[in-house]
Structure 1
Amino acid sequence: MSDDNQVSDEGNETFISHLIELRDRIIRAGASVIVIFFGLVYWAPDIFRLLSRPLTRNLPAGGKMIVTDVTGSFFVPMKVTMMVAFVIALPFVLYQAWAFIAPGLYKHEKKLVMPLVVSSYVLFLLGMVFAYFLVFPTIFHFMAHYNAPLGAQMNTDIDNYVSFVLTMFLAFGVTFEVPVVLVVLVRMGFVSIAKLKQMRPYAVVGAFIVAAVVTPPDMLSMMMLAVPLCLLYEFGIIAARLWAKNRPAEDADEADEAEESAS
């Protein structure tokens, strides 16, 4: 009976220690974002102007950005700066998450996690860059010229603009994660490379449906998301095939680790 109580106490202590470690890592991740935010807050107006450049450069003569909320001119740049701080701190945030789960992973799984984390971060940034430099100027140029025949002047509220931009950043950043998702699905055995090739027509249709839902209602914007999605799907198949070539060695490592833990 005492042995059972001792095992129970050890289990409770382990659970509490994990909660404490999780709390500490969340605090470190949050602190990193806050520290970077306070380091950038002085340049918040400049950061907002940089974010709004794709729109301001395409506004027609007389068009401008407006503030419809009393506190909007203060809080909107702060919101943008916080977003930038989070993106900059994201590698450290992901490291804290990886460090928390790493002790429970096999050696070959640890080797897989870091490339996936790095590639996810890079692809997310590429999605944001693609939206900022290619998609936003195209959309705003189209909308500005579309409003002209209607006799409507394009004066955009800064809060609505930031909400639109953040939504598009998130949409393009997430959709650019397609290769990582495919590699993980193949790695977990949920789908084979042959099945991915068979699903190619459905993936193309799905890409256009997602683009139609996410982007504004014009054909050019939809194509600018749908085409990269199709290309990323093909890239994901190639990446999964390259990983499959290294699968036998990883399976051998997994078998060795299982034998060591059993012994």
Structure 2
Amino acid sequence: MSFIDHLEALRWHIIRAAIAVVVFTTGAFFAKDFLFHDLILGPSRNDFWTYRMLCKLGRLFDPTGPCADQVNFIIQNRTMSGQLSMHISTSFLAGIILTFPYLFWELWRFIKPGLYPHERQNSQGAVFFVSVLFVLGILFGYYVAAPLSINFLASYSVDASIENQIDLQSYLGTLTTMTLSCGLVFELPMIVFFLAKAGIVSPEIMQVYRKHAIVVILVIAAVITPPDITAQIIVTIPVLLLYELSIHIARVVRRGDTARLNAKLSQ
């Protein structure tokens, strides 16, 4: 294919992806009650699933003790067009999240014809695993990381006379940042897989720099969570497990490449 033909193919991939985003964004826009009342504002209420589970967990250790700190703050809007702007931007973000598997599939369809046959074979299931890891990261961010952050920041006070009245944009920024950050961090195994295939990363390198990786993971957890040691530990543990899984993936890639090389030499 010529350069112009490649651009034409890319154009149609972009058009199909844009149509999918517009369709899901429109659906999210009209599902305003579910999007905002049930999803977006869910972590701001005491009956949210995560808070109820934490309450039940606390009762296992102390049946008569109180539950975790209750969410106690007011979300408010200070600008005339603030709620409309948030409605549009949040609907667009929801459209991006919902169509992420399809967007990656369109990107993969554009890249795949340029790969060698063995590269296509080695990358089978890439769309599935990337999508699954992203969804797991989004769910972890929404049900674990974001509620813990919101609960801590909303209940923190320097003086009892100061009432927490959180701006809508600030609340949405915290929720979306935590959720999307976890969705991207959970892609670590797939990133390592492709880097190992390219010969850039090896299991030996990852094992040697494991201590450095732990420090980096702790820093990332500190950035995307509030200064609450409990929230940082809860976020750090699954990322460390993903790092160990990535070492195993790199080892499997190395073993497969060595087996193929020996098979070629034996021929």
| TM-score, length-scaled by structure 2 | 0.82
**Counterpart in 1 of 2:213?**
203
- 2:225 counterpart of 1:237: no
Contact 1:128 1:169 in 2 (8 A): yes
Moved over 6 A (4+): 252-255
Q: Deviations over 1:124-174 (max 9, x none)?
A: 221111111112222222233322854322221112211222211222112
User: Which amino acid is the alignment partner of residue 189 of structure 1?
Assistant: G
The higher radius of gyration belongs to: 1
Q: Following the alignment from structure 1 to structure 2, what is the Cα–Cα distance between the partners of residues 199 and 186?
A: 15
User: Which amino acid is the alignment partner of residue 11 of structure 2?
Assistant: R
Q: Following the alignment from structure 1 to structure 2, what is the Cα–Cα distance between the partners of residues 252 and 15?
A: 38
Question: Equivalent of 2:151, from 133, 141, 146?
Answer: 141
**Counterpart in 1 of 2:21?**
33
**Counterpart in 2 of 1:258?**
none
Deviation of the 1:250 alpha carbon: 5.0
Percent identity over the alignment is 29
**Counterpart in 2 of 1:20?**
8
Bigger shift: residues 135-144 or 103-112:
135-144
User: Which amino acid is the alignment partner of residue 206 of structure 1?
Assistant: V
Question: Equivalent of 1:121, from 115, 123, 131?
Answer: 131
Structure 2: gaps (5+ residues):
47-69
Bigger shift: residues 175-184 or 16-25:
175-184
Q: Following the alignment from structure 1 to structure 2, what is the Cα–Cα distance between the partners of residues 242 and 74?
A: 50
**Counterpart in 1 of 2:30?**
42
Paired residues for 1:1-263 under 5 Å: 14-49=2-37, 50-57=39-46, 58-60=70-72, 63-147=73-157, 149-248=159-258
| TM-score, length-scaled by structure 1 | 0.83
The DSSP-based 3-state class of the residue aligned with 1:65 is strand
Bigger shift: residues 163-172 or 230-239:
163-172
User: Which amino acid is the alignment partner of residue 54 of structure 1?
Assistant: P
Q: Following the alignment from structure 1 to structure 2, what is the Cα–Cα distance between the partners of residues 135 and 126?
A: 12
**Counterpart in 1 of 2:59?**
none
Deviation of the 1:254 alpha carbon: 9.3
Deviation of the 1:88 alpha carbon: 1.7
User: Which amino acid is the alignment partner of residue 218 of structure 2?
Assistant: F
Give the direction of change, closer, same or farther, for the CA distance of 1:40–1:114 in structure 2 (3 Å limit): farther
Q: Following the alignment from structure 2 to structure 1, what is the Cα–Cα distance between the partners of residues 263 and 77?
A: 60
**Superposition CA RMSD, Å:** 2.3
Give the direction of change, closer, same or farther, for the CA distance of 1:116–1:150 in structure 2 (3 Å limit): farther
The size of the alignment, in residue pairs, is 241
The DSSP-based 3-state class of the residue aligned with 2:166 is strand
Contact 2:10 2:110 in 1 (8 A): yes
The DSSP-based 3-state class of the residue aligned with 2:125 is helix
Contact 2:145 2:179 in 1 (8 A): no
Bigger shift: residues 26-35 or 242-251:
242-251
Q: Following the alignment from structure 1 to structure 2, what is the Cα–Cα distance between the partners of residues 159 and 242?
A: 45
Contact 1:32 1:89 in 2 (8 A): yes
Deviation of the 1:67 alpha carbon: 0.7
User: Which amino acid is the alignment partner of residue 228 of structure 1?
Assistant: P
